[in-house]
Structure 1
Amino acid sequence: MLLTPVDNSAIVAALAAALDGGPAVLPLSADDPRAGELRSAMAPGEPTLPGTAVVVATSGSTGAPKGVELSATALRASAAATHERLGGPGQWLLTLPANHIAGVQVVVRSLLAGFGPVLRGTRPFADAVRSMTGPRRYTSLVPTQLVRLLDDPVGLEALCSFDAVLLGGAAAPASLVDRARAAGVRVSTTYGMSETAGGCVYDGQPLDGVRVRLSDGVISLAGPTLASGYRRDPVGTSAAFVDGWFRTTDIGELSADGTLSVSGRADFVINTGGVKVAPAAVEAVLAEQAGVAEVCVVDLPDAEWGQLVAAAVVPVDGSSPPLVDDLRAAVRARLGGPAAPRLVRFVTALPLRGPGKVDRSGVRDVLRGS
């Protein structure tokens, strides 16, 4: 049996009970047009896996939504490892939707630290920060939120007061992280997913108890933060969770000191004229260029090349964007001619889905002009 709260206050109360052995929670958002579809797909009246405290419904952007079942043990282990890495328990400011894993974990961490999380709601960021009372203060952001706060002097001042700021939900350009740290923000990048109870690798280093391995470049993760499996999907569970390891769909590299760098999705490459191009690599180069705030690279169908490399770019200054030829030249110099985007379009914002994740289907629509 699943409780299905749809507002942040109700989700907080339900999560507090679930952590202490109460009914499992399927957090939803009243603002999500798919809330009814997700509730139906997760079948709240049917039993959960043993020990389940939370079911996180994935966005289902590439197919039917999945329900990731997480135990209270996994949530507690993740929260404890996070606080250990950051310097001790503290109060958290919730700026993300509480129906996604990043928001769920903000709530869980704050509850387990003995504080209620501060819910930002519609308040200005600085006002919400001023209402915090914990001895240590933390928050979790997605890159788009960080960009906006860096551009807001009042918001930036408030952000600099945090003992740590976690940055996840989407790949963060190194230039953005460098800019934030130069401004005095104590930011740590995170890597993880619903299946690992959220971020489990901080600044490339696994949290205590988390293990990382690569097989043909594909990342697998293990440790006490892993989910129990997928709701009502024993086949999918047995395929993804094998011998205590969760096989992701991401590719990466491990340095000699064990630092993990994530290159992108193993199942997303662009085949242009017979040459395979990794969109994440192109995005990384473009994001480093002067005048680029955000970027997303996708494929578009093309009669001659099969697929085109296409880029949607949010400029720092919309009235004076960087030169397209300069952007292409930077990619060509680093990654070779086939990787240079044949189409570049400047946009005011990237379409999003979920907490800061870029909607690549929406980007394709934008680039097609639809």
Structure 2
Amino acid sequence: MVDLLNFPQSISNDIFWQDESHTYTYQQVKALAIDHRSLWGEHPKGAICALIGFSPLETWVLMLAAWQRGLCVLPFAERTLPAAIELALNQIPWTLRCEKSPAGDCSQTNSGAISLRVTPNPQGATATESQVLIMTSGSTGGPKAIAHTLSSLSASARATLAFYEWKKGDSWLLSLDPSHIGGFQILLRVWLGQGLCYYGGEPKDLAQALSVRSFSFLSLVPTQIFRLLEDTTTEHNLRAAKAILLGGAATQGSLLERLRALNLPVSITFGASEAASQISAFSPGVLPTTIKHVGRLLEIWTLEAGPDEQLFLSGPALMLGYWQHKKWHELNGSPYLLSDRGRLENGVLTIEGRADQVFQVGGENLAPQEILGLLESFYLLADLALIAKPDLVFGFVPQLIIRSRTKPSINDLFARFESLLPMKRPREIWWLETDEVSKLSKANLEHLLREGSPLLHRLWIYEKI
């Protein structure tokens, strides 16, 4: 097992964590983790502990402590809705709920102690072989808990560090929450690479951090970089980065052209939670000629082609399997079939779209990109999602959700749908009023729709097709 607290003595006093008010050295973070080991008590190796309500630094400290006890951790973002937590926990045989008490915050107390309460599962639980679970939105049947070991996660982290020629002392802005694979890997890469992790607040607040300093590395999703490019105070520090990793969603053609004109050190990437993050990438500053090209495979990966452009991935960073509805689905050392269709040509991976999202509307096949592709270049600062809603007459009907700060124009939307067959046009259109930038979760969106969230506004329901 990987022991993350066994680092060289020479870096003990180097700064690992920095935010607007505090710094923590590697030795201080290690001491905090050791101090919190006793919180877990005695549990079987691989018992699952859910971390609820903690800041990113607290989450990292508690994960380090839990791994010293041989536990498996499932981190949640600090502001995750209770309903989303319950939905996730219903998928796994968890052992402990570790929740933050109001009094504790290791970034605000002199002692560094984290106040928390630990609740055991009254129904019992199952030990696992994994050390980390990452919740991801399932294409059907609710969310899944992707299970990784520290070995698989470290293999991915080291491959990324090697690809980008990371140097000891480099810095990485923590722009994504560690409950997501992208945020988790930022922390792990920095820790293994003996560098500095800087936290500037929530993902939507990156402009403030980038307006005052630069970082060696950034990991962004398209919505984040669009918003940063709106703020002229960030361009200088964006340009100063060694690499700006851009992934998490398909890159729009209009964004590619803008990045090409700005000559920023952007690296288009492609990855998956099941693969512990990165699968392929372009070198910084090398932009693809088409949005379907997502770079060259990292050296740890082997890709085999199957029928109908199926892609089978093999390598040391693959997941063990996943939990869903408290059932364990094991990979068993087999290659993993990616959800995306594509092919490898001249060493460059081409992605054609997800194979698991096509659904039928009254007998007509509909791929979400048929609708989303009409909107992406128009709604540059919005996030789009399409859900296949069950329907008694048509089997499924398309349900469109637009997440943005400003209300979309329904007339503009209608104009863009004119090229679609009437049957393929969205049956429902909803506006999710928020400035969040994390990846849209299908399961969370469906829950918000069911519960009638005040953030969701109905723009249109088309009663007849």
Structures share fold, TM-score greater than 0.5: yes
Identity of aligned residues (%): 26
Which of 327, 346, 356 is matched with 2:439 structurally? 356
Counterpart position of 1:35: 85
Find the aligned partners of 2:373 and 2:346 in 1 and give their Cα distance: 23
The residue matched to 2:187 in structure 1 has which SS?
A: helix
Question: Is the alpha carbon distance of 1:290 and 1:37 closer, same or farther for their aligned partners in structure 2, counting shifts above 3 Å?
Answer: closer
Which of 191, 211, 227 is matched with 1:148 structurally? 227
Could you give the per-residue CA deviations for residues 126-172 of structure 1, whole angstroms, max 9, x where no partner exists? 44347778xx7112122221221122212343333222122222333
Question: Is the alpha carbon distance of 1:178 and 1:80 closer, same or farther for their aligned partners in structure 2, counting shifts above 3 Å?
Answer: farther
The 5-angstrom pairing of residues 194-213 of structure 1 reads 194-202=273-281, 203-213=294-304
The residue matched to 1:209 in structure 2 has which SS?
A: coil
Find the aligned partners of 2:364 and 2:408 in 1 and give their Cα distance: 35
Shift of 1:296: 4.1
Range with bigger deviation, 191-200 or 210-219: 210-219
Q: Which amino acid aligns with 2:242?
A: D
Say whether the 8 Å CA contact 2:384–2:403 is kept in structure 1. Answer: yes
Could you give the per-residue CA deviations for residues 306-329 of structure 1, whole angstroms, max 9, x where no partner exists? 655565668999799995576346
The 5-angstrom pairing of residues 178-189 of structure 1 reads 178-189=257-268
Question: Is the alpha carbon distance of 1:95 and 1:13 closer, same or farther for their aligned partners in structure 2, counting shifts above 3 Å?
Answer: same
Say whether the 8 Å CA contact 1:150–1:180 is kept in structure 2. Answer: no
Counterpart position of 1:262: 351
Find the aligned partners of 2:381 and 2:199 in 1 and give their Cα distance: 32
Find the aligned partners of 1:348 and 1:178 in 2 and give their Cα distance: 28
Range with bigger deviation, 27-36 or 78-87: 27-36
Q: Which amino acid aligns with 1:7?
A: S
| 1:26 has 2:110 as partner | no
Could you give the per-residue CA deviations for residues 207-255 of structure 1, whole angstroms, max 9, x where no partner exists? 11112233333332211111122359996423xx25431123x232214
Find the aligned partners of 2:211 and 2:234 in 1 and give their Cα distance: 11
Find the aligned partners of 1:57 and 1:314 in 2 and give their Cα distance: 21
| 1:91 has 2:171 as partner | yes
Find the aligned partners of 1:120 and 1:292 in 2 and give their Cα distance: 21
Which of 125, 128, 136 is matched with 2:206 structurally? 125
What is the TM-score when the length of structure 2 is the normalising length? 0.63
Could you give the per-residue CA deviations for residues 162-191 of structure 1, whole angstroms, max 9, x where no partner exists? 221222223332322332343233222332
Say whether the 8 Å CA contact 2:175–2:218 is kept in structure 1. Answer: yes
Question: Is the alpha carbon distance of 1:42 and 1:117 closer, same or farther for their aligned partners in structure 2, counting shifts above 3 Å?
Answer: farther
Question: Is the alpha carbon distance of 1:3 and 1:276 closer, same or farther for their aligned partners in structure 2, counting shifts above 3 Å?
Answer: closer
Shift of 1:278: 1.4
Question: Is the alpha carbon distance of 1:291 and 1:3 closer, same or farther for their aligned partners in structure 2, counting shifts above 3 Å?
Answer: closer
The 5-angstrom pairing of residues 264-279 of structure 1 reads 264-279=353-368
Ranges in structure 1 where 5+ consecutive residues have no aligned partner = none
Counterpart position of 1:245: 335
Question: Is the alpha carbon distance of 1:124 and 1:266 closer, same or farther for their aligned partners in structure 2, counting shifts above 3 Å?
Answer: closer
Say whether the 8 Å CA contact 2:254–2:377 is kept in structure 1. Answer: yes
Shift of 1:118: 1.0
Q: Which amino acid aligns with 1:228?
A: L
| 1:341 has 2:422 as partner | no
Find the aligned partners of 1:234 and 1:304 in 2 and give their Cα distance: 32
Q: Select the structure of larger CA radius of gyration.
A: 2
Shift of 1:12: 2.2
| 1:223 has 2:315 as partner | yes
Which of 268, 280, 286 is matched with 2:369 structurally? 280
The residue matched to 1:112 in structure 2 has which SS?
A: helix
Counterpart position of 1:8: 56
Find the aligned partners of 2:379 and 2:173 in 1 and give their Cα distance: 32
Say whether the 8 Å CA contact 2:139–2:357 is kept in structure 1. Answer: no
Question: Is the alpha carbon distance of 1:17 and 1:368 closer, same or farther for their aligned partners in structure 2, counting shifts above 3 Å?
Answer: same
Could you give the per-residue CA deviations for residues 4-59 of structure 1, whole angstroms, max 9, x where no partner exists? 44321112224456788864432222311233564574513556444x33222334
Shift of 1:110: 0.9
Find the aligned partners of 2:88 and 2:327 in 1 and give their Cα distance: 20
Ranges in structure 2 where 5+ consecutive residues have no aligned partner = 1-46, 97-124, 282-293, 451-455
What is the TM-score when the length of structure 1 is the normalising length? 0.77
Q: Which amino acid aligns with 2:144?
A: K
Counterpart position of 2:187: 107
Say whether the 8 Å CA contact 2:305–2:311 is kept in structure 1. Answer: yes
Shift of 1:197: 0.6
- RMSD between aligned alpha carbons? 4.1
Counterpart position of 1:74: 152
Shift of 1:276: 1.2
Question: Is the alpha carbon distance of 1:290 and 1:12 closer, same or farther for their aligned partners in structure 2, counting shifts above 3 Å?
Answer: closer
Say whether the 8 Å CA contact 2:131–2:149 is kept in structure 1. Answer: yes
Counterpart position of 1:157: 236
Question: Is the alpha carbon distance of 1:302 and 1:55 closer, same or farther for their aligned partners in structure 2, counting shifts above 3 Å?
Answer: closer
Find the aligned partners of 1:127 and 1:2 in 2 and give their Cα distance: 36
Find the aligned partners of 1:271 and 1:194 in 2 and give their Cα distance: 27
The residue matched to 2:345 in structure 1 has which SS?
A: coil
Range with bigger deviation, 65-74 or 41-50: 41-50
